[in-house]
């Protein structure tokens, strides 16, 4: 198959897969409230965990990370050009943020971004995951963990994989995550951000 056709096909598939709102699908399938209507009204792992409990929360995390990992890993196996690989890896992240199934709205992309990075650069992805877990364990803020991990992402990229393509990928992902966490940053500044383990009705 022609590489350009393959790149376009994988990018479209990645975007549509990323657009699947696992938090909504899993919550409804298990008889829990639509996460868009409760808690922070976010479709991601943290809100589902907070309002519906561990099982739907963990399944949401697996789904959101998995869609990023599948496309990132597939791109590394099927494509040669680094820019093309990272475009495909970016696609599910963009699909999650701007889902056509949710009126081009979506989650904040942390789990899907982690999955994509793990798919294309396992060591860097593992470092980001450990940074997220460490920050959450220390401060108990999921958003704080995400901001810590992805705030470090461009630095880690520049140190461990200093190609123009990968550093650009890191900057785009980090920039979008910062934009999506604008409200969280403000609440962290004011001390009103919810901590992990706090349950909301």
Cα 6 to Cα 53, 94, 115, 149: the distances in Å are: 40, 19, 21, 32
Q: How many domains does the chain have?
A: 1
pLDDT digits (tens, 9 = 90+) for 64-88: 999 999 999 999 999 999 999 999 9
201 occurs within a structural domain = no
pLDDT digits (tens, 9 = 90+) for 182-194: 999 999 999 999 8
pLDDT of 200 above 80: no
Q: Please name every residue paired with 99 in a beta bridge, in sequence order, or none if there are none.
A: 105
pLDDT of 58 above 80: yes
Tell me the average pLDDT across 140-144: 93
Residue 31 belongs to what H/E stretch?
none
User: Residue 95 belongs to what domain range?
Assistant: 3-103+111-190
pLDDT digits (tens, 9 = 90+) for 5-31: 999 999 999 999 999 999 999 999 999
């Amino acid at each position: 198959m022609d590489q350009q056709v393959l790149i376009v096909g994988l990018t479209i598939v990645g975007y549509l897969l990323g657009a699947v709102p696992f938090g909504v699908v899993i919550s409804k399938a298990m008889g829990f409230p639509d996460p868009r209507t409760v808690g922070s009204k976010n479709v991601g792992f943290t809100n589902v965990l907070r309002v519906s409990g561990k099982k739907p929360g963990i399944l949401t995390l697996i789904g959101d990370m998995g869609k990023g990992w599948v496309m990132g890993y597939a791109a590394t196996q099927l494509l040669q050009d680094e820019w093309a690989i990272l475009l495909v890896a970016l696609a599910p992240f963009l699909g999650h943020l701007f889902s056509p199934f949710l009126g081009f709205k979506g989650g904040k992309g942390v789990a899907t971004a982690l999955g994509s990075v793990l798919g294309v650069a396992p060591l860097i992805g593992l470092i980001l995951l450990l940074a997220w877990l460490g920050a959450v364990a220390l401060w108990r803020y999921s958003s704080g963990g995400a901001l810590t991990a992805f705030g470090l992402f461009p630095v880690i990229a520049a140190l461990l994989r200093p190609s123009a393509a990968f550093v650009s990928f890191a900057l785009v992902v980090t920039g979008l995550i910062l934009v999506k966490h604008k409200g969280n940053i403000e609440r962290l500044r004011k001390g009103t951000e919810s901590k992990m383990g706090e349950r909301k009705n």
